[in-house]
Amino acid sequence: MKHFSSFRGAVLICASLIILLASCASAGSTAAKTEASVQSYDVVVVGAGGAGLSAAIEAKEAGASVVILEKMPMIGGNTLLSGGEMNAPANWVQQKLGIKDSADLFYQDTLKGGDNKADAAVVRALADNALVSAEWLRDKVGVKFDPENLFQFGGHSVKRALIPEGQTGYELVSKLKAMADALKIPFKMETKATALIVENGRVAGVKATTAKGQQLTFKARKGVVLATGGFGANVEMRKKYNPVLDEHYMTTDSPGSTGDGIVMAEAAGAALANMQYIQTYPICNPKTGIISLVADTRFDGAILINQDGKRFVEELDRRDVISNAILAQKGGYCYQLWNEPVARIENTDIIHKDEYNQLVAQKLLYKVDTLEEAAKAFDIPYDSLKETVDRVTGFAQTGKDTDFNYRATFLPLDKGPYYIMKAVPSVHHTMGGLVIDPATHVKNASGALIPGLYAAGEVTGVVHGSNRLGGNAIADAITFGRIAGENAAAGR
């Protein structure tokens, strides 16, 4: 695999979304203009993704004066580039569909999915508050979720991931941004935080640099919230903690995911955990590294096959399991195959039309009438592929996959039209980061809390253990972002 910048491809897919966000800056936003060199607020939030926006909103609503620092020229971070799906146990769509779920089951799935290397108390806080966070997004922020469908990501016992309108993080980010603007929260764009200010053992602010090179000091009377994301786009940092994931691997992440908050907090005495655990997303564009949202058909019955036309892994297993299984195949890539009935469950080819057209133009995805044409598209042995498809169709009829124990239900694949695409794993999420408690206080190496410092989202390192389950990143960012904002505003 060659190394590419995922950002360029991301712009091709969601250019209109980014342009809209860049053009809708609030009156309080700044973009590299001359600033007062010293500014004071109750709460300083670093990072304008899902966690940072949620923290800032909650802090402001709690009566604190708040500012958001964002080093990129646009907001959203990885939340914007994601599919935006959010796990919430016992949610309203599950109730409508008759799916039984609970916070306890979500807690167990999440701990198990991370090989029990997460902090159980923090996972408990996530499980107990995820539904409330989803309801907050729906009822207060105005996020629209699909009222009829859910995703079941790998490692989850049941379907529980709410799907935002448009099936991207844009629905979340745009609505959170609108609420922040209504609350008159200022955004300092292209303003890179460089160091935490520590006074008398307490984090009292942030030093930052603008795009023009101006040095700024943001004093925080009550607290600083780090919501700077992970380090998936920082190849050198990846190699430091996991040498295998070097420049040969592409990434799905925003170019802003360079680990700044982790580095700053560690310099201020913060403890780190699980830094070696870096997740790859299994189904990505082989030319750009971008996550494929068209391929979300995998959650509805699409199958993964190798160059011999054979299945080699359960399609709803954990991301790390699937990625490793793909890398073990000849060439380190796979194909995903589905038919029209599967395609029409979520209409990913229509909803993500730009990505679909890009994949077709790159000759990475073909829509064909027959299975024989699907095999020919990538020079797969037809007889072998037909045998695989016949077996899966049989599993659809019996409801039991005797090959890989598929945990959901297949649909018959005996009739076309068919879709077949090539895919590779790409670096997607860094599980390691700052050690926090359930209230999002950052801890030092001795386990003591660092006064005035809070963290939420991918910058933290004890929520997911060795592996993050799909749909848990948004639940993590929103839930702990809100908790961090509330606690920072109260100075507790």
- Each as own residue / partner, the long-range contacts of residues 296-300 (CB below 8 Å, 24 or more positions apart, any chain) are 296/83, 296/151, 296/167, 296/346, 296/348, 297/336, 297/338, 297/342, 297/343, 297/345, 297/346, 297/348, 297/419, 298/336, 299/151, 299/152, 299/153, 299/346, 299/408, 300/338, 300/342, 300/345, 300/346, 300/411
Residue 210's beta-bridge partner residues? 191
**Residue 87, CA distances (Å) to 149, 290, 328, 366 in order:** 13, 22, 30, 31
Only one residue has tokens 């080699």, namely 312
Nearest CA-CA partner of 410 in 427, 432, 428, 394: 394
d(CA 63, CA 115) in angstroms, rounded, equals 40
Q: Is 407 among the catalytic positions?
A: no
Q: Which two tokens stand for residue 77?
A: 């971070």
User: Looking at 138, 319, 468, 482, which residue is catalytic?
Assistant: 319
Residue 224's beta-bridge partner residues? 44, 453
Name the region of 450 (left: φ>0; alpha: ψ -120 to 50; beta: rest).
beta
Residue 389, φ and ψ in degrees, nearest 5: -65, -40
d(CA 288, CA 77) in angstroms, rounded, equals 18
Pairing outcome for strands 30-31 and 187-189 = parallel
Only one residue has tokens 């890398």, namely 327
d(CA 26, CA 177) in angstroms, rounded, equals 9
Helix, strand, or coil (residue 18): helix
Count the Cβ atoms, other than its own, within 10 Å of residue 21: 20
Name the region of 259 (left: φ>0; alpha: ψ -120 to 50; beta: rest).
left
| Peptide bond before residue 243 is cis, with ω within 30 degrees of 0 | no
DSSP 141: I
Q: So which residues are the catalytic ones?
A: 319
